[in-house]
Each structure stands twice: as structure tokens, then as C-alpha cells.
Amino acid sequence: MYEKCIDYLSSRGVTLRDIAQCVLFLQKDYHPELSEAICEQAVKEILHKREVQHAIITGICLDIATEQKKLADEHLTKILQIDSPLYGIDEVLAYGICNLYGSIALTNYGYIDRCKPGIIRQLNQHQKQCNTFLDDIVGAIAAAAAGKLAHSL
């Protein structure tokens, strides 16, 4: 399941390195000595959690189903195609990842969602595919890894 999630992420244009760079963005002011390699290790640990894996697969499959117009409801398809700001369920799914790593993960998630560094900004532009769920999932994985690091450094 761990490998499958990494494959899913990479098939949608997201590498572990991309997520590690988001973690570094979140933590560099608190830990100037922090390296991308340590951030990537924290991301890998997050990706080993079953609940995280389920959130990744659920979100990416909903993005793909939206692209392929395979959702059972046309109105929902429209909402997901335009990434309607009033929808909010993409964020709720992502909170599930943050909830595993406490309040630092949650506040970092809110912050990264506002700043949209690196890959998150790219995903948010929806140029090649639907990323309605994926951008929040990537932000939440980075925020959870930041929370984990904050407690362990």
C-alpha cells in the first residue's frame, strides 16, 4: 500500500522530494539546520500510516473520476471540476491526515494552504488534470511531517 501511494502520487506529478520541500518551507525558520533529506524521511514515515494511505487513494481516485466524468452526480462533477471554494470536503479529507499529528500539523496545514509553496501552487493551477483533492492531501502530508519533526527535533 505504501508503494502504491507513492506510485499514485508520482502518476499525478508529485514526488517525495516535492513534499519534502514543502516541509522544509514550513520548518526552516524553526530549525535552520534542517535538511531536505530529513524532511523526506519524515514524509516517508507519514506515508506509512494506513489512514494517510486511505486518504491519498480516496482523494486521487475522486480527482481521476472527476476528470473521466465517472462520478454518479453531474452537479458534484461540476463542483469538483472548478474546485469550488465553497465545497470544502477536500480540506475535510485532508484534516484526517493532520489530526494524526496534533495541533502543530493542523495549524501548519492552514498556513501552507494560504501560502501554497512549490508543488502546491502548481497543483492548484489545475493545468493538466483535476487536483481538487490532491493539493490538500499534499499540503496535509507536508503539515503532518512538519508536526512530527517539530516534536522530535
CB of 151 to Mg ion, least distance (A): 27
CA distances from 55 to 15, 118, 141, 150, 151 (A): 17, 21, 10, 23, 23
CB of 43 to Mg ion, least distance (A): 19
Contact between 122 and 22 under an 8 Å Cβ cutoff? The reply is no
Cβ-closest position to Mg ion: 90
Nearer to Mg ion, 6 or 89 (CB): 89
Residues 105-134 that bind Mg ion (CB under 5 A): 132
The b/e string for 26-36 (b: 16+ C-beta within 10 A; e otherwise) is: bbeeeeeebee
CB of 4 to Mg ion, least distance (A): 22
For Mg ion, the binding residue among 55, 62, 90, 150 (CB under 5 A) is 90
The rounded distance, in Å, linking the Cα atoms of 39 and 20 is 5
Asked if 63 is part of the footprint of Mg ion (rule: CB under 5 A), the reply reads no
Residue numbers of the site for Mg ion (CB under 5 A)? 90, 132, 135-136
